[in-house]
Structure 1
């Protein structure tokens, strides 16, 4: 593998996907028949506002029945307290009254909670993005009925190749130079500043790209909804290689081995003699199957990435053709 200089001073454009910063699929915690939806798709709701409800008839009947049973058990328990003090009933009979009182009280609380579960409220302020069920349909407990999106802050997701992944860093809000921004075809002359949120540490198995999540304030005068697409521009012309100003080279983890002191080293190939010599390096974080080398490598160095554990200083090596697979124990 030949070490290449990190990509600097360029502008890259990536297709982006708009998502709501917070999103939830709302469901009832009990089964029942949908009596009403109070909002349509696209309407805004406030936190705690009622958005849908089930027919409460059956739940109300259960509640009334358990309330009557509880009232009777409570009355028996209160009479038993007076009787046990006088010795009219045994302690064992009183304990049975107490157990019945507590059991019916728990049943009443469960019925009251189930009755409350027939009302579905918004956990946060947002927009009804989708309705999965119509009125008068039967739904099962925890079956999604509504999708709620918080559009007060949007997320933009892009897939970044490995070579650029380490250069996507947090931007300074006070910096007037836009490093990462989004554009839309309908307003191509406007740039919308993005802020870094998080980055996946595992590459996609098929594309070998890393998902980067950015955040964007909802633009004024422009409707941006979850599911829309955008173009994300990453301008690296004013970026440092990393926060400390050092250059980081990504090499496969198989290229890193240890010397006698267990310090990290890499085998460097001399292109003239096609022999190898060890070189001490300093390493950083590991991302996917690669390790970041912060010191000890230069552009143009050719490193051994297969069979590094079996090499010795001055050992001749040969380059493998693209179609040839590396042996597990090279000699």
Structure 2
């Protein structure tokens, strides 16, 4: 009896173990099944060439918009020269100083003469009012007073001119004199240029100016490229053109103005090219309404497909009154034209294909 009960218990245990093994095996099989993510197919359209433009280019050279050859208004020995070539200065900064000793002595002497003259003038006026001196005597004192006042003011002006200051923000491009050197009045000491705003000079053939017209030329888009930075555009604005052509070259001298890029070491004398956009033709590119994510005024948003990353990215474009794209796209761009509302930024998609091929 005991033996039978033992066998029954053993059989029950074996059955339980077998059932558990089958259950675990089923779980492992379920876990080993990997469900591939569903990649959304999208319908794409390729952007053609949206616009073509013609550009005329002319050799050019950079020059300073503001340039000044600074000098002292009075002569003397340079006591200090506080700047060097290549150094940047700000408006009002002291650049050089003459020895002011002689000019200060002149001010002191003129001040003493003026003090005496004003005292004599005031006394003469009192006497004249009492009719104790002649009008001629009074006029002499008044004239002396005015003359000494003018001499004092001139002496003060000469003293102030012993300090040479920067008339504008710029860079010292050249120094003509050094410390302790004797310089005369109006002898060049420092050459200062404005490096933030610069002019670019170039020549235009007479035939070109005649065909374009000066009025139209002023309205055209212009930019420059430098020989050592040929891939970087610097936007320019028309400044001036000569009224008469150079007879030797049969061309007009012209210039544009640019703002110097902070990251570019742009200096006067460097060569480059001025580019003038002659014409542009917009070939409007129509898209179905289903392609648009949004539209506000003349701005809209689309999904652009990146064939390398297989992702879509939101972009902004411009469209005309006929709802055709005129800007913001490049030739060869792939634009999603269906199901745009179901996509999210950076989503991986694939190009939609018909059964049996594209």
TM-score band, normalised by the shorter chain? 0.5 to 0.7
**Based on CA coordinates, which of the two structures has the bigger radius of gyration?**
2
- SS of residue matched to 1:221: coil
Correspondence for 1:238 = 280
Residue 136 (1) aligns with residue 136 (2)? no
Correspondence for 2:117 = 73
Cα distance in 2 for residues equivalent to 1:137 and 1:205: 45
Kindly indicate whether the alpha-carbon contact (under 8 Å) linking 2:54 and 2:280 is maintained by their aligned counterparts in 1.
no
Correspondence for 1:193 = 235
Correspondence for 2:91 = 47
Correspondence for 1:56 = 100
Superposed counterparts of 1:34-183, under 5 Å? 34-166=78-210, 167=212, 169-171=217-219, 179-183=221-225
Q: Mind listing any 5+ residue stretches in structure 2 that lack a counterpart?
A: 1-52, 282-358
Deviation, 1:10, is: 4.6
Query: What RMSD over aligned residues (CA atoms) do the two structures have, in Å?
Result: 2.2
Correspondence for 1:213 = 255
Residue 29 (1) aligns with residue 73 (2)? yes
Superposed counterparts of 1:275-314, under 5 Å? none
Deviation, 1:208, is: 1.0
- More helix by proportion, 1 or 2? 2
Name the count of aligned residue pairs: 226
Superposed CA offset, 1:112-171 (max 9, x none): 111111111222221112111112222222222111111221111111111222437134
Cα distance in 2 for residues equivalent to 1:92 and 1:171: 69
Cα distance in 2 for residues equivalent to 1:226 and 1:186: 14
- SS of residue matched to 1:127: strand
- SS of residue matched to 1:77: helix
TM-score by length of 1: 0.63
- SS of residue matched to 2:224: strand
Deviation, 1:106, is: 1.1
- SS of residue matched to 1:234: strand
Deviation, 1:192, is: 1.4
Deviation, 1:72, is: 1.0
Deviation, 1:226, is: 1.4
Correspondence for 1:308 = none
- SS of residue matched to 1:75: helix
Cα distance in 1 for residues equivalent to 2:186 and 2:249: 35
- SS of residue matched to 2:155: helix
Deviation, 1:71, is: 0.9
Cα distance in 1 for residues equivalent to 2:240 and 2:193: 20
Cα distance in 1 for residues equivalent to 2:80 and 2:118: 37
Deviation, 1:222, is: 0.7
Deviation, 1:90, is: 3.0
Kindly indicate whether the alpha-carbon contact (under 8 Å) linking 2:68 and 2:192 is maintained by their aligned counterparts in 1.
yes
Cα distance in 2 for residues equivalent to 1:196 and 1:20: 15
- SS of residue matched to 2:238: strand
Q: Mind listing any 5+ residue stretches in structure 1 that lack a counterpart?
A: 1-8, 173-178, 240-331
